[in-house]
Amino acid sequence: MFDSKEAIQAAQTTWEQQCLWPTLERAPERNVRFMTTSSEPIERLYTPLDIAETSYTRDIAHPGAYPYTRGVHPTGYRGKVWTMRMFAGFGTAEETNERFKYLLSQGQTGLSIAFDMPTLYGRDTDHPLVEGEFGKCGVAITSLADMEILLDGLPLDQISTSMTINSPAAIIWAMYLAVAEKRGVPWSKLRGTLQNDILKEYIAQNEYIFPPEPSMRLVVDTIEFGSQHVPQWNPVSVSGYHIREAGATAAQELAFTLADGAAYVEASIARGLNVDDFAPRISFFFNAHNDFFEEIAKYRAARRIWAKLMRETFGAKKDRSCWLRFHTQTAGCSLTAQQPEVNIVRTTIQALAAVMGGTQSLHTNSMDEALALPSEKAVTIALRTQQVIASESGVTNTVDPLGGSYFVEAQTNRMEREANAYFEAIRNYGGVIPAIREGFFQREIADAAYRYQQEIDGNEREMIGVNAYNVPTPIEIPILAMDPEGERKHLARLDRVRAERDNALAQQRLAELRAVAEGSENTMPAILNCVRAYCTVGEICDVFREVFGIYQETMVV
């Protein structure tokens, strides 16, 4: 039986008079202002009055029931825990392949591939513009020959693979498909995710090549091709992670990510695709930052907003079309070079928030990532962090364990309100791409990042080891050492590919791709033919550069 609002208000007044005010007179609170990581104020106490307008059946509901606030699966992690997918990639294909095999041997349950800057920008490793960038932030993939080595000995029909690639995403995916094809693995058995979220590149990460409109065409090409030929693959992972890393608040990350997701749905429908044919394979990628409860509320609000959007705006009929399934990575921007072992604690809290929020897969950052690419020791501790949470913490024993918390439900509602306000602002610009061109997202993120740094510099916000307890300590953790001959070996392989392939066929395939790019056909079949002929990433992207042009940001400040 529930008390009336009047009874709760009366009880709160009595509590304030008899308990709170006398306590504050004796011992004032340690801060004048309490706030979330996103600088949102936190009240002293939350009660049923803070969620008085919330309906359980309408707004929260049971796990696996619309609007999926409590999760998309009725049993949560009681049936299967999340996929442990450690992001990895550095140096040569050989080195990264070795790291993948090590992680799988240690209990990792999915692969996640990081690519180096030349690959991300669609340049071959020997291009003068990318000199010195080989293998530094991911693995170098220039041709199908590199992808064959990267995936050597990995059971493609038994594991799921995520690939963090955007402008050249269709090309890298085609290489993955071609490797499976050469091994006789049917595309229907392949499971994985292509990040392929070009809109967030213009908003936050800036690793774009082509203008937004032809870039959106390439994204829709992969969505269409995947729905027809690779049914278990997620052709887009709409990424809020990089938006948050650029300095966005939790609400900005939520709103801008879902707005991007809606833009991909709109573009696919405009292509003529049925929403229920492709929407179930759209996935999301969120950040897990330091504020435990704010992050949990963000994930719960994301599911609810997306479900309503898909059903009420886009007319989705299938339940799976309304599911927001997401991968989470702990916050790289929260890691410090000072006292790097403390990063293990930060990552644990962040990972726990992702799990309590119902993530489908998870990457935990390594303690040394503010200093270098992860060493084997550091990445093992990061993986063990997930395994301890899954096996020893008890948080997987019940579904949405914080559901019904006055604080968490109030924060979930706040997230939804703030996201809806941002959606309205984006509509006023005429949509996501016009808002990008006007610099709306960029200004919002920059303002939030500046405010956050000002709070640290002014000691309003503590960062352990930076502006609090910042006693200098020697670095005593191992630092990864990569093969010093790696670049030479990679370039020698690239030379062999160019020398040994059928160059007449390669040029023919590139010419065919150009004709398709100049028209309106789906580009994926032509890209696949180029990849099969061992055309390089740079050669294929150069065709698109010549046809589509190169984008330069000219936002209004």
Task: Give dist(CA 521, CA 523) in Å, integer.
Answer: 6
> Could you tell me how far CA 265 lies from the centroid of its own chain?
18
- Ordered alpha helix ranges (H), 370-485: 376-392, 406-429, 432-437, 440-457
Please give the average per-residue pLDDT across 401-425, as a whole number: 97
Q: Tokens 């009681």 identify what position?
A: 78
Q: What is the pLDDT of residue 484?
A: 81
> Token pair for residue 475?
């670095």
Judge whether residue 344 has pLDDT over 50.
Answer: yes
Q: How far does the chain reach from its first CA to its final CA, in angstroms?
A: 55
Task: Give dist(CA 311, CA 479) in Å, integer.
Answer: 49
- 117 by Cβ neighbours in 10 Å (0-12 / 13-18 / 19+) ranks as middle
**Nearest to residue 486, comparing CAs of 98, 193, 29, 43?**
98
Please give the average per-residue pLDDT across 338-362, as a whole number: 97
pLDDT tens readout for residues 454-476: 999 999 999 998 989 988 877 77
Task: Give dist(CA 549, CA 132) in Å, integer.
Answer: 25
Q: What is the pLDDT of residue 554?
A: 78
Phi-psi domain of 124 (left: phi exceeds 0; alpha: psi -120 through 50; beta: other)? beta
- Tell me the DSSP string of 458-490: TTSS--BTTTBS-------S------TTHHHHH
Q: Which residues, in sequence order, are CB contacts of 302 under 8 Å at separation 6+?
A: 254, 257, 258, 284, 286, 324, 326, 415
Q: Which residues, in sequence order, are CB contacts of 202 under 8 Å at separation 6+?
A: 208, 212, 436, 441, 551, 553
DSSP 115: B
Q: Tokens 């008079």 identify what position?
A: 17
**Is the pTM value of this prediction over 0.75?**
yes
> Token pair for residue 112?
């996640």
Helix (H) or strand (E) holding 308: helix 292-308
**Do 212 and 433 meet the contact criterion of CB atoms below 8 Å apart?**
yes
Q: What is the pLDDT of residue 340?
A: 93
**Do 88 and 103 meet the contact criterion of CB atoms below 8 Å apart?**
yes
Q: Where are the domains of the chain?
A: 56-457
Judge whether residue 553 has pLDDT over 70.
Answer: yes
> Token pair for residue 318?
């299938």
pLDDT tens readout for residues 198-232: 999 999 999 999 999 999 999 999 999 999 999 99
> Token pair for residue 425?
């602002």
pLDDT tens readout for residues 76-131: 999 999 999 988 899 999 999 999 999 999 999 899 999 999 999 999 999 999 99
**Do 142 and 537 meet the contact criterion of CB atoms below 8 Å apart?**
yes
Judge whether residue 372 has pLDDT over 90.
Answer: no
Judge whether residue 1 has pLDDT over 70.
Answer: no
CA angle 451/287/410 to nearest 5° reads 75
CB half-sphere exposure, 344, CA atoms < 13 A: 14
> Token pair for residue 146?
């590199």
Task: Give dist(CA 389, CA 352) in Å, integer.
Answer: 7
Distances (CA, A) of 426 to 105, 201, 257, 346, 449: 46, 17, 12, 33, 20
Positive or negative, the CA dihedral 518, 524, 529, 533 is positive
pLDDT tens readout for residues 151-161: 999 999 999 99
State the pairing for strand pair 191-194/236-239.
unpaired
Task: Give dist(CA 161, CA 142) in Å, integer.
Answer: 19
Q: What is the pLDDT of residue 115?
A: 96
pLDDT band at 555 (very low <50, low <70, confident <90, very high): low
- φ, ψ of residue 525 in degrees (nearest 5): -60, -40
Q: Which residues, in sequence order, are CB contacts of 6 under 8 Å at separation 6+?
A: none
**Nearest to residue 287, comparing CAs of 203, 181, 364?**
364
Task: Give dist(CA 95, CA 305) in Å, integer.
Answer: 41
**Do 129 and 216 meet the contact criterion of CB atoms below 8 Å apart?**
no
> Token pair for residue 306?
């997306």
| 3-state helix vs strand vs coil in the chain, percent to 5 | 55, 10, 40
- φ, ψ of residue 454 in degrees (nearest 5): -60, -35
Q: What is the pLDDT of residue 175?
A: 98
- The superfamily CATH assigns to domain 56-457 is Methylmalonyl-CoA mutase (3.20.20.240)
Among the residue ranges 64-73, 244-253, 372-381, the one predicted with the least confidence is 372-381
- Tell me the DSSP string of 165-195: --TTHHHHHHHHHHHHHHHT--GGG-EEEE-
- Tell me the DSSP string of 42-59: --S---GGGGTT--IIII
Judge whether residue 320 has pLDDT over 90.
Answer: yes
